[in-house]
Each structure stands twice: as C-alpha cells, then as structure tokens.
Amino acid sequence: MSVLYALTWRFLHLLLGAQRALLAWLRLWHWRVWRAAGALLLPPDLAHQERGPRLDCRLLRREARCRCVQYLRQRCDCTLLPQQRSRERAQLHKLPVHIGLLIGEEQESFPDVASLVLWCMALGISYVSVYDPQGIFKQNSSRLMDEVLRLQKEECSKFPLEYANGGADGADKAFRHLPVLKVLSPEDGKPNIVKAAQNFCQLVADRQKTPADLDVDAFDHLLRSGQNFPDPDLILKFGSINSTLGFLPWHIRLSEIISLPSHVNIQYEDFFFALRCYAGAEQRLGK
C-alpha cells in the first residue's frame, strides 16, 4: 500500500511541477507576443512622439493610434516618461518608504535588478535594499552600481542616487531626502544581531550597563548603530521558493511580503502590479 501512496505522491508533484512550468512559460510567451506585435505594427519613431493637445477633431483617430503605440512601446522596452511616472504614482495611494528586493533564485541578472532599482527611485521610493542568500550582489556591489548608473544615463533620469554601503554618513543622506541603495547579504541578518548582542554584553562586562538597561527600543537603537535606515515596508521576493531566506530577521516585523516568479526579464507592469497589491493592504498594528 505504501508503494502506491508514494507513487501517487510523486505523480501529484509531477503535476504540480508541470503546472508551474506551464504558467511560467505562458507568462514569457505573453510578453513575447506583445513585443513581436509592437515591432511589427509600428515604426519605432512614432513611439517616442509626445502627446500634445490636439485641436483637430480629424486627428482623433490618429491620437487613438498614438496611444496604442505608446502602450505597445511601453510593453516593449518599458521606458516610461517622467510625467507618466508621476501619473502612475498618483494611482498608488500608499508607497513604501523602504523596499527590499529579495532575489531568491539561482540565476542572478544585474541589469534586471538595476532597472528594478531605477523604477523604485523613479516612483519616489527613498530606500531600496537588494538581498540574496549567497551574498553575490554584495560581493559584486560595484558591478550593480555601475549597471544602475549606466541605465540611469540611458534614461536621462533626474534622480540622483546615493550608495549607502560603507558610508558612515547614512543619516546625512536620509536627511537630504535622496534615494539610498543598500546591498545586503546574510551577514547583515542574524550575525549582525549577534554582534550587537556581543557589544552590549561587553558593556555589561565593563560595568557600563546592566542587563535591565536593555529593552526592545534600546536594542533596536543598538542594531541601527547610527544608520538612519527605516524598516522595510515591502519585500518583493523573486523566485519560486517561499521563504525569506534569512533576510534581516529583526527588521521585517511588519513588512508585506509579495512574491513575483522571477526577476529575470521582469517587466514594469509586474513590478507595478506588486506595488498596487501593497497599496491595497491595510495594517492594523495589533489593534
């Protein structure tokens, strides 16, 4: 009997795997069709045309076509004009202050993460952190930074970006309200808590503090060690694995965790959809 159960179990998981693969394939296919349609139907110069006020009624039809062009164009390469961004921003009645990008996949793509970072900045999100459980992005953080700067140049974006890793003047940057990027690895999670605990214990050993001096707020203060980085409001988790994989255990207390299937070839619409989900969520804070 147990052999039969085991066989059924394997079959069930095979089905599940097939279903996931099919969904992933459909998602990719969906974009490919849009891309192909965009390339076929429209001459590229039309797409960059800005929509101004139209006076002639006869042009209405052309305008409709233009709108379609822009829509397709957006879907093709996802370059959005600043005014479109501010319009979209108005659609989101709540924006995260700090967004955490959790890359839980085997494969990592620096250009895609860079464009995610830029989208966040363009929407006015002040703090972005990038995390992966193997610390690959942290090891290659300069490469990520180069990629972000390159993309930024391409988009002629007006959003200056600061890099927070290693800089002691994090508080100063926050004060000036510039968007800040931080690259994190598992070392910033539990080992960081342990380090703060060691420091406190050392103070107790030196008779500068007593155990009773420590409460949640005091420890929170110790953990921040001068950096004025707020807790993440939203974690965008990429990959099929349903886990936070050691991402800042102390700080994710109230973070909404939203999953996206993959960050490779991520489209702006997917990202925007996740932000819309976040805007719809209500926090009761224990009440």
What is the spatial distance between Cα 56 and Cα 170, in angstroms, rounded to a whole number?
A: 53
For residues 231 and 254, the answer to whether their CB atoms sit within 8 Å is yes
Residue 245 makes contact with another protein by CB under 8 A: yes
Q: Smallest distance, Å, CB 272 to another protein?
A: 17
For residues 78 and 193, which CB has a smaller minimum distance to another protein in the complex?
Answer: 193
Q: Which of 85, 246, 276, 279 forms a contact with another protein (CB under 8 A)?
A: 246
Burial of 232 (0-12, 13-18, 19+ CB in 10 A): buried
Task: For the segment 6-35, give every residue that binds another protein (CB under 8 A).
Answer: 6, 8-10, 12-13, 16-17
Q: Which of 92, 214, 260, 264 binds another protein (CB under 8 A)?
A: 214
Query: Taking CB under 8 A as the criterion, which residues in 86-145 touch another protein?
Result: 133-134
**Residue 181: CB partners within 8 Å, gap ≥ 6?**
117, 128, 129, 130, 145, 148, 161, 162, 163, 164
Residue 205 touches another protein, criterion: CB under 8 A: yes
Please pick, from the candidates 201, 221, 265, 273, the single residue that binds another protein as defined by CB under 8 A.
201
In angstroms, give the least distance from the CB of 119 to another protein.
Answer: 21
DSSP symbols for 81-143: -HHHHHHHHHH-S---SEEEEEE-SSS--HHHHHHHHHHHHHHT--EEEEE-TT-HHHHTHHH
CB of 24 to another protein, least distance (A): 14
User: What is the helix, strand, coil percentage profile of the chain, to 5?
Assistant: 55, 10, 35
Task: Indicate whether 280 belongs to the interface with another protein (CB under 8 A).
Answer: no
By CB under 8 A, name the binding residues for another protein.
1-2, 5-6, 8-10, 12-13, 16-17, 133-134, 186, 189-191, 193-194, 196-198, 200-202, 204-205, 209-212, 214-216, 218-220, 240-247, 249-250, 252-258, 281, 283, 285-287
